[in-house]
Amino acid sequence: MRARTHHIVAATSAAVLAVVALGACSSGDGKPDNTKTDAKALADKAVAYLWKHTSMEGTAKGTDEDGEAQEMKVCGNVTPDGDLVSLKGTLVLDGQDADVISIDGKDYIRIPLSHYIKMIGTNDPTIAARVEKSIGGKYIVSVSDDDETGSLFEGGTGGVTKGEVTQFDGKQAIPLTKIGKDGAKKTVYVAAKGDVVVYGNLEENGRKRIETIIVSVGKPCDVAAPPQGQFLTEDEFDKAFDESKTP
């Protein structure tokens, strides 16, 4: 239970950082042609542009490293250097929204009751009622990973390559791609004309394939921790879950 929920929170934190590290949207119509700029210079401009915005909202969809479907909507606030300040969002689990919050060095996740019932593998209404009473509606709280940052191109813009103009989220975009040391491929899509804004990206590594799209920028993401009594530590949650599912 603990490994799975911690993995979900970490994945969501990474997703919001990907969103925040994508900059603002602009059509760029009638503006300078960015296809004439070489790959590194274009990537440098994208990095310089994105740090003008420290709060954004976006969506991410695809599969994680285990090949499991992921779909989420997140907003977040970061420092000008790309360090995460706070985030909140939802991700889909068993067809229902799970709530995620990260603030003040702590991660909170509230998973739909149906997910826990499915894990138990029972249709016994008595057990379901006990699970709901003990953990239903409560968040699990854990310490945030402290090494998450919103770098647009890991390790800098050296080695970035530029592709031909293509469509991304209905916009004319130039793909900028970098292969990481671990073989992970990240393609960032920037405006083909005008300011070098970023429309989104695609991350691919083995079974992982996540596409992130910007929804809005500049609007602060209002984040607050759940009140006392509405969350449990991982140890408390594991104990309550184990006791409630035992006949």
Question: 167-199: per-residue pLDDT in tens?
Answer: 999 999 999 999 988 899 999 999 999 988 888
Give dist(CA 107, CA 139) in Å, integer. Answer: 9
Q: What is the pTM of this model?
A: 0.75
Q: Which residue has better confidence, 121 or 27?
A: 121
Whether the predicted pLDDT of 228 surpasses 70: yes
Q: How many domains does the chain have?
A: 1
Residue 27: count other Cβ atoms within 10 Å of its Cβ: 13
Q: Mean pLDDT for the chain?
A: 81
Whether the predicted pLDDT of 122 surpasses 50: yes
Percent of the chain with pLDDT over 70: 83
pLDDT score for 39: 96
Tokens of 158: 């050296």
pLDDT score for 19: 55
Give dist(CA 183, CA 69) in Å, integer. Answer: 21
pLDDT score for 135: 84
Query: pLDDT of 2-37, one tens digit each?
Result: 445 545 555 555 555 555 555 444 444 557 899 999
Whether the predicted pLDDT of 221 surpasses 50: yes
pLDDT score for 151: 66
| CATH number, domain with residue 223 | 2.50.20.10
pLDDT score for 83: 73
Structural domain that includes position 107:
2-245
Query: pLDDT of 144-172, one tens digit each?
Result: 765 544 567 877 889 999 999 999 999 99
Q: At what angle do helices 234-245 and 125-135 cross, to 10 degrees?
A: 160
Where is mean pLDDT largest: 9-23, 39-53, 91-105, 188-202? 188-202
pLDDT score for 55: 83
pLDDT score for 192: 94
Q: What region, left, alpha or beta, does residue 100 occupy, with left being phi > 0 and alpha being psi -120 to 50 degrees?
A: beta
